[in-house]
């Protein structure tokens, strides 16, 4: 699988399908690509905040690709002409033999930036099983059921937020890593703007004291092959 980080929480995963997660591109101050560069088969959106829902609707309407998210975000996208399917925490959804498992996330999910007064449903994460099992935690605080995500879904790669203030910081993310125990962990949701400035080396060093997971700190636009 090829994994590319496009800054913040946006990842592109290419194996059986080309999957784009949380496509915050156009207003992302650190992104090195444009919305027109993407032609995914599927987009997964973890919650309704503008820095995660991002350009999902624009890309889906242009390409005709499917968007998977919680039911509220899916309904919103459907009303705007995008092709979307809703699912919920604990459920699974299959597309071309790729399974999407929706996991909890401790976070808000209002759509006030998009449609004032509209409830954006629950914030979530995904474990995506496309030969390699990838856990994208979305925006979240530390919660004890991360033990179960590791135990039941056994992700080999985990993307975890480390920015603090709005999500886990490095210390909590390191504890989460030790509970999930993936082979590789990739920090995300940091250094996009001042409020979430962090040194990813701190997270990396903390993980090394807790478990044998390898932490890969990616530059924006960098890809790895797993």
The CATH class for the domain spanning 2-221 reads alpha beta
CB 56 within 8 Å of CB 67: yes
Q: How many CB atoms are closer than 10 A to CB 97? A: 10
Q: What is the pLDDT of residue 47?
A: 97
The DSSP letter of residue 9 is T
14-26 pLDDT tens trace? 999 999 999 999 9
Where are the chain's structural domains? 2-221
74-121 pLDDT tens trace? 999 999 999 999 999 999 999 999 999 999 999 998 776 566 556 789
| DSSP assignments along 122-161, one per residue | --EEEEEEESEEEEE--S----TTHHHIIIII--SEEEEE
88-100 pLDDT tens trace? 999 999 999 999 9
Pairing of strands 184-188, 214-215: parallel
The DSSP letter of residue 37 is G
The DSSP letter of residue 7 is S
This prediction's pTM:
0.97
């Amino acid at each position: 699988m090829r994994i590319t980080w496009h800054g913040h929480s946006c990842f592109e995963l290419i194996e059986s399908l080309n999957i784009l997660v949380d496509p915050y591109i156009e207003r992302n101050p650190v992104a090195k690509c444009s919305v027109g560069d993407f032609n995914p088969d599927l987009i997964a959106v973890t919650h309704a905040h503008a820095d995660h829902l991002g350009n999902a609707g624009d890309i889906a309407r242009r390409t005709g690709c499917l968007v998977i998210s919680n039911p509220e975000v899916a309904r919103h996208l459907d009303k705007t002409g995008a092709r979307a399917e809703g699912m919920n925490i604990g459920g699974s959804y299959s597309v071309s033999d790729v399974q999407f498992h929706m996991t909890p996330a401790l976070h808000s999910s209002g759509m006030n930036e998009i449609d004032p007064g509209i409830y954006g449903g629950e914030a979530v994460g995904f474990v995506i099983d496309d030969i390699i099992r990838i856990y994208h935690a979305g925006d979240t605080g530390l919660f004890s059921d991360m033990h179960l995500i590791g135990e039941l879904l056994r992700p080999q790669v985990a993307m975890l937020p480390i920015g603090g203030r709005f999500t886990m910081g490095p210390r909590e993310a390191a504890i989460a890593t030790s509970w999930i125990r993936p082979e590789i962990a990739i920090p995300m949701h940091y250094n996009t703007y001042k409020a979430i400035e962090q040194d990813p080396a701190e997270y990396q060093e903390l993980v090394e004291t807790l478990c044998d997971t390898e932490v890969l700190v990616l530059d924006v636009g960098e890809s790895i092959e797993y």
